[in-house]
Amino acid sequence: MDERLATETIVDGRYRILERIGSGGMADVYRAEDLQLGRDVALKILYRRFSQDGEFVERFRREASSAAGLQHPHVVSVYDRGEWDGTYYIAMEHLEGRSLKQVVLAEGPLAPARAVDLVIQILRAAKFAHKRGIIHRDLKPHNVIVDGEDRAKVTDFGIALAGVSDMTQTGSIMGTAQYLSPEQAQGHPVTGQSDLYAIGVILFELLTGRIPFDGDSAVTIALKQVNEPPALPSSFNGTVTPDLDAIVFRALEKDPARRFADADQFIAALEEVAAHLADGTAGSTGVTSVAGAAVAYGLPPAESGLSQHTQVSGQIPTVSAYDGYAYPATAPPELDPDREDAQRWWIALLAGLLVAGLVIGALLLSGGDKVTVPQVVGVDEASAVTRLRADGFDTDITTKNDPNAPKGQVIGQIPSGNSEADKGSTVTLTVSDGPGTATVPRVVGDGRLVATKKLRDAGFLVREEEDFSADVGENRVISVEPGQGEALEKGSTVTIVVSSGAERVDVPSVLRQSREDAQATLEDAGFEVSVREMESEEDVGTVLSQDPKAGTARPKGSRVTITVAKASEAVDVPNVVGQSSAEATAALSGAGFTVLPRDQEVDSPDEDGVVLAQNPASGKLKRGERVTITVGKFSPELDPDPTATPEPTPTATP
């Protein structure tokens, strides 16, 4: 079934497929656009047929976890991982370039200086991983990307081992046969030296354009890895110097203890060769043979990386071993059979043949009847053991956490179901111990995508709910259930409540209402109220306008401003002339003025208490200003008695 994704497919709402750029044994790789960050990524998507296989899913998850913790210039960065449409994906750094395998296939043997430079870069990546307890276990040119400037980056940590592996059982072989160390080929524990062996194979391939061991099947190749010496790289590329031959041979030692102690030591040896190649002094140390190179580097014969090799016909040239030194592969040195060193040589040869026979016997020629191993993956442990024992097999049980399988379910078996195995042999079952537990991380206040990634990385499924919040910004987490810091079984669902912003409501109309009524209406609707005043002929306190307008949707808690009427500061001065003093004072005070009365004597009692004049007589004044009124005042004692006889006017005496 073709599982390829069409271009323009959107993966997990975030990644838009642009093109398919490669495929492997467990996944397709696409160039995709990250729609959130606007950058190209390499999107690795597990084949759906493997998505229900706990072993494959664990291997895929381990790749993301291992590489995500390795931020290094020579390791491909992993950005994200997730579950989508029934399968799993990893989003990683997209590199413009070719795999190192493509480089070798296109260009053949590389110049020694270039090969050394590329391998040093790979070793630096391995060194960084090893110091963090991570062993790659599948280093090969296919997993190294080289850009246009020959910068190398290591990818595909799919079977990387972090600490004690829970994926490897005794006797299992994981990795690619042509690059497997002898201990991996035999199912023994791996160490950093296993990666160094694989890098030695890569160096051999870069220098020669071919791999040191090949065959018709993985078993054939594995046997060669365990038993046969490689040819000299210089036999295929005349520019390879003896000291570089010696480095390759040491990296390819069968015994891990005889290889380089760590990546630093391997790098140091290559850097010395690189220095000689750069200044044209290669071979100036007087090295003319592999054995001489070992001596030149100060390596004791037993540590030179050469003690493993015995004469093998058909390799031109190769080396043979005698007391730990290397000799041209013509014939073994003539020895007195009574000499102790000759006896050691024959003992070593017989021991080697015995080991080879044991390996071949164990892998290919095991005695006993061959029977079909039942397929028990997916059934419970008790049923699986009963079935296997009924068919004549012993069982060995290992457990591991698996978020996709209930506790007690078989999630892996070695040998695999429907394969042939000796009756009476042991079938190793991997049984789910449940998903394990993890602590709910702190995500309150995080963006929804960041929070989702944190929770998924912790092993949880995520469910989202939305709610309004005036305090938490839109698309940020308001709360999480179960709470932060709680221990929870992996694979459980954690619910995050994400803010959709403050609740929005329609602004009610308060026009023509009194100030008090308008404020109450708006506050009941969830708004805060601001008041402005404006002079108006309307009744004081009447709402003249509002902002926002009625019917506009606004977040609850936001502010609405109302404008209310206030009295004008300048008003008409009423004309009170002819009114009584009391009436005039009331009229002027009511209009907001201060009244200043002033008396004026009058002759007629009819004008007594009457306003005779005012100042100002008309126009406008600000409220509170003074208006002067002149009020008539009649005094009776000044009025002559109309009944009295007027006194005669005195006349002057002449």
Residues known to be catalytic? 138
Token representation of residue 175: 């990795």
Contacting residues for 169 by C-beta, under 8 A, at least 6 apart = 396, 398, 414, 428, 430
Give dist(CA 558, CA 529) in Å, integer: 9
Give dist(CA 475, CA 623) in Å, integer: 56
Give dist(CA 45, CA 266) in Å, integer: 35
Q: Put the strands of the sheet holding 27-34 in their side by side order.
A: 10-11, 15-23, 27-34, 39-46, 87-93, 78-84
| Phi and psi based region of residue 520 (left: phi greater than 0; alpha: psi -120 to 50; beta: remaining) | alpha
Query: Largest alpha-carbon pair distance within the chain?
Result: 202
Residue 243 CB neighbour total at 10 angstroms: 22
CA distances from 136 to 179, 425, 509, 595 (A): 12, 30, 70, 102
CB 432 within 8 A of CB 402: yes
Report the residue count for the chain: 654
Token representation of residue 142: 């296919």
Give dist(CA 207, CA 508) in Å, integer: 82
Distance, C-alpha 330 to centroid of its chain: 58
Task: Give kind and range of the element (H or E) at residue 344.
Answer: helix 340-363
Buried b (16+ CB within 10 A) or exposed e, 69-90: ebebebbbbbbbbbeeeebbbb
Q: Decide: helix, strand or coil at residue 370.
A: strand
φ and ψ of 46, to 5 deg: -65, 135
Point out which residues pair with 599 in neighbouring strands.
631
In this structure, what is the dihedral angle of CA atoms 632, 636, 638, 642, given to the nearest 10 degrees?
120
| Phi and psi based region of residue 268 (left: phi greater than 0; alpha: psi -120 to 50; beta: remaining) | alpha
